[in-house]
Amino acid sequence: MVIYHLYRDAFSEVYTYRYRLADETGAVQLIASWPGLPVADRPEEVLFHTATGDYLARLRWEDRSWWHGDRFWLSRAAEEPPFAMIEEQWRLVDRLLLRLPGYRLTLEEDGVAFSARGSRYSQQLYEIFALPTAASQDDAAEQRIGAVRHPASGPTYIMEVEHPRLEADLSLIAALGVILDLWGVQREQRA
């Protein structure tokens, strides 16, 4: 299991300008920021860089109707096709009961999918599950592989993940954390 701390750097509660993903020792592994300032209330793209400034990935936001939820595309370079898609998932009952949105992360290469489900009332803000693939439909049970906690002090989020695909690519973990914060939790706080 890997544990990362996600820090939100902000001018105020509303205007976030950067995220830092650090390991347990506090060493920054990845930085997520926007191409320029000022940052819009709903930024259209977020860039991911290593701590040394090397470009890793780009997250693009696709605004769909409120009924379908937003969609996010993660790609290595501007011209390359995306290697992952993250979809916001709502049910009517979620909106009526003011629940946090759910998210589905799908890797385009092989269709491996993960789900993040939010809860306002548990110790974990979000729980992360590995969803069964088409090849493994016979054992259709999803498996809990991690959690996102929002501690009272210290980092903004503590992200715990135990899956080789997510552990191998920090941009996937960081993208999920940025989306959970910017589009999920902060939107709910502003409403």
Q: Model pTM?
A: 0.84
Is the omega angle on the peptide bond into residue 35 within 30 degrees of 0, that is, cis? Answer: no
Please list the residues that pair with 76 across neighbouring strands.
none
Q: Which phi-psi region, left, alpha or beta, contains residue 53 (left: φ > 0; alpha: ψ -120 to 50)?
A: left
Q: Which domains does the chain have, with CATH numbers?
A: 2-190 (2.40.160.200)
| pLDDT tens digits for range 47-100 | 999 999 999 999 988 876 666 778 999 998 767 899 999 998 887 777 777 778
- Alpha helices by DSSP H, listed for the chain, are 92-96, 164-168, 170-179, 186-190
